[in-house]
Structure 1
Amino acid sequence: MSQPHVTDPVSYPEPLAHPETRGIELIDASERHGRARDLFPVWAAPNVSVLNFTVGASLILLGLELWQALLVIVAGSLPWILTGIVATSGPAAGTSGSVITRAIYGIRGNRVLVAFFGWFISAVFLALNWLASSFMGAELLAQLGFTDPVAVPVIVTIVVAAITVVVAVFGHSLILRSYPVVASVLLAIFLLVTAFVLPHVQWGYAAPAPLEGAPLWSAVTIGIAILASTPLSYTNSPDLARYLPETTKRSHIIAATAFGGALPCIFFTAVGALLATGIGSAAMDLGIESALLALLPAWLGPIFVVGVIINTISLNGMTTYTASMAFQSIGVPIRRIPSAIVVGAIGAALTIYLVMSTSLLDAVNLMLQLLVLISGPTMTIFAVDVILRRNRYKGEDLFNEKPGGPFWYSRGWHIPGLLAVVLGAAVASLFLTNAVWTGPISAAMGFLDLSVPVSMIVTAGVYIALTPSLRRSSTTTPSVTQGAHA
């Protein structure tokens, strides 16, 4: 299907009173606005999250000492730099990331990758975040006498999902204007919660059975894989930056995106690790949501739950917004607003399933690790392509879906891009360790989880090796079209 909106002359309304009707259509220079620093709160609001507490606590439960956990948190946050690099392609191309990746996989190949990988990542993260608000909302309602273990979390999920879809429908303008306020409110709530957590911290904490050798490195690498999966999943970062003027400095976009996401993740994940030192594994077995609420005064518990729900809506609103454009980029004849509703319904259904079958801690750790097999290669190849092309993407070429077009490659498939991602995921699976799957190489190495660095090295190496003309064009030719025929 050929996209019909490449040079759509219609002026799309920006006021908050109007839903955003624009989908993947190119954004004209006259409609570009904003500054790179506007991206900082856009990424900070979704990442002031209770999931950070959960992941931080899990590092201590893995057996790490507190100082080891803090080092792992910093190391696992480094991939936010890749999220920032990928974001720069949005203003360059003037369209969404799910369209820009046509340059990597080819017109037809991109449809397959976006339909499978993009939808899987979006659905998982929608479910994980709605799961957090469902559990904590149900915990709070239980204190008020509503104790049905199935109906209450399901109702909370449906209500939160409906509000989230509304955010996605109003789109970029609402996100850009409201998220600075949301980030400030969430920061205040989570810092207040932190103040009540700190008195329970055992600053001299020592693991009951200190890890050494292979078990220590296993815990360290598993922790890094869990943490890195979040920034590696944000291949949608161009979608939030695409309205910026094309002349916006790339370094500013990278810094605003990376720091906006990384700083709250590092801080509140560290708080989660501190929390785990003071409450013990028995309390954690009851669930991170119960453990947190038990530490807070009666007046703060409801405020914290509201904060968790606001955070969930901000993160999933952004995810639903970008996922709705992925539907269009694969050729589905649907407008962005109906697409957002479909995305929300799929995510809500998966959340309800998880609510009735798992705990928050188990779901987060398992899904984040499995996600690396997808997010690691797709984020890596996107960042490498941006670097090799020197961020020179021509929007009109990306929408040329005809045979013989710049990104038609071999009958619509770009073998180097597809092969690099598949090999990156396949080889990384041999180095993965979790409750569902342990790769043979990981097992032979004492259960080290090297899935993140392996996926990145293999994917980048294969793509660079198989695209010699793209490498040459990055230094000799300013035309993205010539580089596209690698």
Structure 2
Amino acid sequence: MTASKTNDRVGAVETRGIEPVPESERHGRAGQMFWTWFAANISILGLPLGATLVAFRGLNIWQSVLVAVVGAFGSFALVGALSLAGKKGGAPALTLSRSVFGQRGNAGPTLISWLSRVGWETISTTTAAYALLALLDTAFGVGRNTVLTIVCLLVFIGCTLLISGLGHATIMWINKWATVVFGLLNLVVMGFLAATVDWAKVLDTPAGPASAVVAGIGFIASGTGIGWANAGADYARYLPRAIPGRRLITASAFGAGIPLVLLISLGSLLSAGDGSLATAADPVAAINAMLPSWMAIPYLVAAFGGLLMSNHLSTYSAGLTMITLGLRVPRAAAVALDVVLMFAGGIYFMLIADDFYGPFSTFLTLLAVPISAWIGVIAVDSLWGRSYDSEALMDTTRTSRYWYSGGFRIPAVAGWAAAIVAGLLFTKASTSDSDVWFAGPLAHTWLGVNGLGWAVSMAVGAAVYALFGRRPGVADRDGATGSPTLQEVRR
């Protein structure tokens, strides 16, 4: 696709697609990443994560807080580190990935990333529609029916399309101000939820084993930052190259870490007295039941807004990923197509399917393995240092510098494939003890039982690529050179 002139200002439709942003059009500060990742993590879905630590992992509140701090801050520090490629190359994450995997080899990671984005969007959309239905029932006494369900889906999707369709500048502006509004509203709601905590039970809860703490950190990391690691560069690509990398990493870690630690810790507190939140099919209704009736409206507004903040980011990235896959349409049209799929998924899971969260959580558990494998390969390549050839990134023909061997860069693709196999060996995906979708032969081991197949995948991907890949500045035939990312981070 030929480069289009960007129109990156608030309220205007961003016309740039996946083509790299030239230095002359770069703008902004590292602090934008703080608001971006704060906005992505103020949704109520953080509460069930914390509840799970107590109900299923057997941790007490102090262990849960420790797990939340390490898992949330650590995983989003990784997101920040991987987003440095966006600052350096000026393109979305999966577009930059072409330089590592090859023009054809990059199709696999890109497809998996798009499926993951659509999956999370469907979860957010369906949960938000439930929140809006509950709000209408509470405020106006309007009961749920098929037509109203469809209307609620359309309202949320319309809001998502409006923000994501306008693009980068509008998203950055919305993130900052909406985060302040919904963040404060969430604090009020969280205060009332904290008042319902059975402190006697919380303080009497015994500590869990150290192994459960390690597994809990992996659980939180996989449920938070790991899911966004393949999108960080999408929002850093307009930033000037001169911004120190350490500021970007710090802003990302604190932007996501602050709301996540608060939400996860509160979820742990709530679950210590009542384990129903961890098993609730509809977390919106479960949390609403814990509040006084007059708090229902502020809570449901906060829930809707928080989910919208997360969803418009995911939808924006999904549109860029679709274009990277080869969809030859303007960026805004790609976003529109994505929300159509989101709407179809919402209708199916709200009006047709018997269960929603179980199957989708299982599906996303499986997708975490290939995404983690991609992260392992990309992390090593970033540490080695790589410069990006803008023309080669956009040239998908045999003339591209990133064509390699038949369109594939063998060390990266082989490392990714080997890592997927290794991760699946330790992975079990199921909706219940009797409904097992997939179970690897090593799923019964400690790593498998504690859901760390994704971590195995990341480690193997990094190791295989480190052994068989070539440093871009030394012998990689793409001719790319550049200072290692570690040097950028230390500036």
User: Equivalent residues in 2 for 1:46-85 (5 A)?
Assistant: 46-66=40-60, 67-77=62-72, 78-85=74-81
Structure 1 residue 204: Cα displacement: 4.1
Equivalent residue for 1:293, pick from 288, 296, 313: 288
Q: What is the rounded CA distance, in whole Å, between the counterparts of 1:286 and 1:322 in structure 2?
A: 28
- C-alpha spacing 1:479/1:411, structure 2 compared with 1 (3 Å): same
Q: What is the rounded CA distance, in whole Å, between the counterparts of 2:278 and 2:108 in structure 1?
A: 44
For residues 151-197 of structure 1, the C-alpha deviation after alignment (integer angstroms, 9 at most, x for no partner) is 44433122101110111111111011121111111211111111111
Q: Percent identity?
A: 25
Asked if the contact 1:62/1:219 (under 8 Å) is kept, the reply is no
Q: What is the rounded CA distance, in whole Å, between the counterparts of 2:363 and 2:216 in structure 1?
A: 13
Equivalent residue for 2:37, pick from 21, 38, 43: 43
**What TM-score, normalized by structure 1, do the two folds share?**
0.88
- C-alpha spacing 1:465/1:16, structure 2 compared with 1 (3 Å): same
User: Equivalent residues in 2 for 1:26-41 (5 A)?
Assistant: 26-41=20-35
Equivalent residue for 2:321, pick from 320, 323, 326: 326
Q: Comparing 437-446 with 186-195, which one deviates more in the overlay?
A: 437-446
Q: What is the rounded CA distance, in whole Å, between the counterparts of 1:60 and 1:141 in structure 2?
A: 33
Q: What is the rounded CA distance, in whole Å, between the counterparts of 2:395 and 2:278 in structure 1?
A: 57
Confirm whether residue 260 of structure 1 aligns to residue 260 of structure 2: no
Q: What is the rounded CA distance, in whole Å, between the counterparts of 1:444 and 1:93 in structure 2?
A: 41
Confirm whether residue 181 of structure 1 aligns to residue 177 of structure 2: yes
Aligned match of 1:484: none
Structure 1 residue 433: Cα displacement: 3.1
Structure 1 residue 344: Cα displacement: 0.8
Q: What is the rounded CA distance, in whole Å, between the counterparts of 2:26 and 2:43 in structure 1?
A: 30
Aligned match of 1:464: 466
Aligned match of 1:442: 443
Q: What is the rounded CA distance, in whole Å, between the counterparts of 1:334 and 1:286 in structure 2?
A: 38
Q: What is the rounded CA distance, in whole Å, between the counterparts of 2:278 and 2:79 in structure 1?
A: 35
Confirm whether residue 196 of structure 1 aligns to residue 192 of structure 2: yes
Paired letter, 1:4:
T
Aligned match of 1:4: 2
* Ranges in structure 1 where 5+ consecutive residues have no aligned partner: 482-486
Paired letter, 1:50:
I
User: Equivalent residues in 2 for 1:124-203 (5 A)?
Assistant: 124-143=119-138, 144-148=140-144, 150-203=146-199
For residues 32-56 of structure 1, the C-alpha deviation after alignment (integer angstroms, 9 at most, x for no partner) is 1111112211110121111101211
- C-alpha spacing 1:208/1:416, structure 2 compared with 1 (3 Å): farther
For residues 110-157 of structure 1, the C-alpha deviation after alignment (integer angstroms, 9 at most, x for no partner) is 13431x212111111101111221222223333343333544443312
Asked if the contact 2:374/2:416 (under 8 Å) is kept, the reply is yes
Asked if the contact 1:73/1:224 (under 8 Å) is kept, the reply is no
Q: Residue 109 of structure 1 aligns to a residue in which SS?
A: coil
Q: What is the rounded CA distance, in whole Å, between the counterparts of 1:228 and 1:430 in structure 2?
A: 17
Asked if the contact 2:58/2:212 (under 8 Å) is kept, the reply is no
Q: What is the rounded CA distance, in whole Å, between the counterparts of 1:297 and 1:137 in structure 2?
A: 18
Aligned match of 2:265: 270
Aligned match of 1:379: 375
Aligned match of 1:451: 453
Q: Comparing 87-96 with 367-376, which one deviates more in the overlay?
A: 367-376
Q: Residue 137 of structure 2 aligns to a residue in which SS?
A: helix
Paired letter, 1:465:
L
Q: Comparing 459-468 with 294-303, which one deviates more in the overlay?
A: 294-303
Aligned match of 1:89: 85
How many residues align? The count is 469
Q: Comparing 424-433 with 438-447, which one deviates more in the overlay?
A: 438-447
- C-alpha spacing 1:111/1:441, structure 2 compared with 1 (3 Å): closer
For residues 433-486 of structure 1, the C-alpha deviation after alignment (integer angstroms, 9 at most, x for no partner) is 342333221214482322132111101001111113448469xx97269xxxxx
Q: What is the rounded CA distance, in whole Å, between the counterparts of 1:349 and 1:313 in structure 2?
A: 18
Q: Comparing 61-70 with 100-109, which one deviates more in the overlay?
A: 61-70
User: Equivalent residues in 2 for 1:86-125 (5 A)?
Assistant: 86-114=82-110, 116-125=111-120
For residues 266-286 of structure 1, the C-alpha deviation after alignment (integer angstroms, 9 at most, x for no partner) is 221111111222334389547
For residues 38-88 of structure 1, the C-alpha deviation after alignment (integer angstroms, 9 at most, x for no partner) is 221111012111110121112222151323333332343222222111111
Aligned match of 2:16: 22
Aligned match of 1:224: 218
**What TM-score, normalized by structure 2, do the two folds share?**
0.87
